Structure 1
C-alpha cells in the first residue's frame, strides 16, 4: 500500500477493513482507494491540505480549516479511518468522537466554553453576534447540566450528543 499507483491486494483491502472496524465493504474500500489516488495528484502516498481543498464540498465546509488539521498528510489507511465516522454503519460514539476532535483544537482531551464558541463562530459567521452565540451556548450547556466553566471530556460529548439522533453520513459510490 506504500505507492498509490499500485493496486490494492486482497490482503491490503482486508487490513484496511479491519483498521476501520469493518465499516466499509471491500467494494467501498476499492472505490475509496480510487478516490484517494485521484486526490493524491503527485502519488506520494498521502493527501496534503491543498489536495483536500480541491474537493469543493470540503473546501466549502465552514469547518474545513479545523478538519484539515486532522486530515493533512493522511495515508490511505488513515484516510479510510478518518472517513469511517461518516459511514452509515458507524455508531453514535464513533461519530461523536470525530466531532469532539473538531472542537478540541489543542488536542488536550478537553473542550472549553471558548473552544465551542470558536466552532460556533466558524459555523455562523456574521449571522450571529458574539453575544448571541454566548447566550445560546450558555443556555444549551445549562440545559445539559454544565456551566461556562465546565471542561467537557469525550464522555460528556457522548452524553450530550448521544441522544440527538445525529446524522452525518457520506455515501461511497461503488462502481
Structure 2
C-alpha cells in the first residue's frame, strides 16, 4: 500500500476500513484511493503540502495553512482517517477532536485565547476589526463560563461544542 501505483488488495481495504472505524464503505475507500493517487503526483505514497494545495477547494480555505500542518506527509491510511472526520458516520466527539487540533497551534493539548483569536483572524480576514474579534471571542468564552485567560483542553471543547449540532460533512463520490 506504500506504493501508490499498486492496486489495493481486499486486505488493504479492510485494514483501512478498520483504521477509520468503518466510516467508509469498501467502494468509497477504492474511490478515495484513486483520488489519493491523483494527488500523490510524486508517487511516493505520501501527499505533500504542495500536492494538497493543488486542490482548489483546499487552497482557498481560510484555514488551509493550519490544516497543512496536520496533513503534510500523509500516507493513504492517514489520508482516509483525516477524511473520516468529515463523514456523516463520524461521531461528534471525533469532529470536536479534529477542531481542537486545528486550534491547538503548538500541539501542547491546550488552546489559549490567542490561539482562538488567530483562527478567528484567519476566518474573518479584514471583514471585522481586531477589536471586534476580541470582543466576540471574549463574549463567547464568557457565555461558556471561561475567562480570557483560560487555557482550554479537549474536555472544554467537548463541553462547549457537545450540544452545538455541529455539522462537518463531505460526501465521497463513488466511481
Same fold (TM over 0.5): yes
- Written as runs of structure 1 = structure 2, the 5 A alignment for 1:23-42 is 23-42=23-42
- Written as runs of structure 1 = structure 2, the 5 A alignment for 1:29-108 is 29-108=29-108
How many residues are matched? 175
**Alignment match, 2:18:** 18
> SS state of the match for residue 125, structure 2?
helix
**Alignment match, 1:118:** 118
What runs of 5+ residues in structure 2 fail to find an aligned partner? none
Q: Distance in 2 between matches of 1:130 and 1:162?
A: 28
After TM superposition, give the deviation of residue 132 of structure 1 in Å. Answer: 0.3
> SS state of the match for residue 61, structure 1?
coil
Q: Distance in 1 between matches of 2:106 and 2:20?
A: 25
Deviating 4+ runs (over 6 angstroms): none
What runs of 5+ residues in structure 1 fail to find an aligned partner? none
Q: Distance in 1 between matches of 2:55 and 2:45?
A: 18
Q: Distance in 2 between matches of 1:9 and 1:104?
A: 36
**Alignment match, 1:153:** 153
> SS state of the match for residue 86, structure 2?
coil
Q: Distance in 1 between matches of 2:133 and 2:89?
A: 33
Q: Distance in 2 between matches of 1:37 and 1:80?
A: 12
Q: TM-score, normalised by structure 1?
A: 0.99
After TM superposition, give the deviation of residue 162 of structure 1 in Å. Answer: 1.2
After TM superposition, give the deviation of residue 42 of structure 1 in Å. Answer: 1.3
| CA-based RMSD | 0.5
